[in-house]
Amino acid sequence: MSIQDLFIESAASYGLHITHLVEGCGLQRVPVCGDKSGKKSGAYTFHSDGVPSGFIENHKTGERTNWCSKESSILTNDERRANSQRIEADKRQRQEEEKAKYEQTADQCQTQWPNLPIAKNEHPYLKLKGVEAIGLRLLNDLLVVPLRNIGGDLKSWQTIDDGGEKRFATGGQKKRPLPHHRDATGLDLCL
């Protein structure tokens, strides 16, 4: 079995479906077990030069790992150092790509926000929850909940349909800022 096949097998144990392994080209997105058609909840990087290694992540389960073709206990100091440097370089590249994607989504949301109609209290989801539409907008029939940073800048949003299904903006930041909504008395509510 080739090193590439070993990596694909390891990635499969995390639920990733890699049909064509891309080497040395940054973070690659692939489907995972249970993804709907077109969805890519898996990510990996793979390098076959030096000591073959890579990174595997399943966004659906939250599992992630650094992968190496050799046990760390049998790596030479030079191999260990080179591998660590490559892992750090890949991590920096992933963070830069993620930051650029977040900024692009923030720009799109900020451009669209002023043109979205203001939500009314009559929206079925708001009536179900017994909250007012303070600070919310509409995108078609979906409620739009702004996601802002601590300075109040719009960074992304979450949409909510009549039945309560929630979706974050594609490419938007999800971990921080947190969505919040205040009722008429100024209390924070979870939608």
List, for residues 38-78, the tens digit of each pLDDT value: 899 999 999 887 788 889 999 999 999 989 887 767 778 88
Instruction: Judge if 116 and 140 occupy the same domain.
Output: yes
Domain that holds residue 135: 111-189
Phi, psi of 118 (to 5 degrees): -70, 135
Decide: 68 and 33 in contact? Cβ < 8 Å: no
List, for residues 77-128, the tens digit of each pLDDT value: 888 888 788 778 878 888 898 899 999 999 999 999 999 999 999 999 999 8
Instruction: Judge if 83 and 12 occupy the same domain.
Output: yes
Instruction: Judge if 40 and 87 occupy the same domain.
Output: yes
Count of other CB atoms within 10 angstroms of residue 152: 8
Q: How far apart are CA 134 and CA 130, in angstroms?
A: 12
Count of other CB atoms within 10 angstroms of residue 71: 7
Instruction: Judge if 95 and 121 occupy the same domain.
Output: no
pTM of the model: 0.61
Q: How far apart are CA 76 and CA 72, in angstroms?
A: 9
Q: How far apart are CA 101 and CA 27, in angstroms?
A: 13
- Counting the structural domains of the chain, the total is 2
Instruction: Judge if 115 and 57 occupy the same domain.
Output: no
Q: 69 exposed, middle or buried (CB, 10 Å; 0-12, 13-18, 19+)?
A: middle
Domain boundary among 58, 78, 103: 103
Instruction: Judge if 96 and 11 occupy the same domain.
Output: yes
Instruction: Judge if 41 and 127 occupy the same domain.
Output: no
Q: How far apart are CA 181 and CA 188, in angstroms?
A: 6
Q: Quick one: DSSP state of residue 72? A: G
